[in-house]
Amino acid sequence: MYSISEVAEKVDISAHTLRYYEKEGIISPVRNAHGIREFDEQHLKWLHFVKKLRETQMPVSQIKEYTHLFLEGEHTANERLRLLEEHQQFIRDQIETLLATDEMLTKKISTYKEIMKKSLMK
């Protein structure tokens, strides 16, 4: 079992964020006899997944929805699949946008380097 500070370090998120996720129902740590949160390996795996969803800009509201569906059981698999497929499409759209922007910037940078090179030759 891990303490909140150990989990925060292992997952690289703040203890404040862990408490927020608990408040929002995204994670449910076990409480020991003293009321202290304890996390296990399953919590760590779940938090790594949640962290990736957040890093790819999935809103907390959608993560909450996914979490609640997951906790409801297998009969929600189609809804969970839909949420993940929609998010994957969002990520793919972002990748397309980033690649197009990178290409545009590469051309712009090249243009500036050519201008600077010509001005040095004068």
Domains of the chain: 1-55 (1.10.1660.10), 59-122 (no CATH)
What angle (nearest 5°) sits at the alpha carbon of residue 101, between those of residues 95 and 107? Answer: 140
Mean per-residue pLDDT for 13-27?
96
- Return the pLDDT at 50: 97
pTM given for the model: 0.83
Whether the pLDDT of residue 76 is over 70: the answer is yes
**Long-range contacts formed by 75-82: CB under 8 A, 24+ apart:** none
The residues near 14 (Cβ < 8 Å, ≥ 6 apart) are 8
Helix (H) or strand (E) holding 107: helix 77-121
Q: For the segment 36-57, what is each residue's pLDDT rounded down to a tens digit? A: 999 999 999 999 999 999 999 9
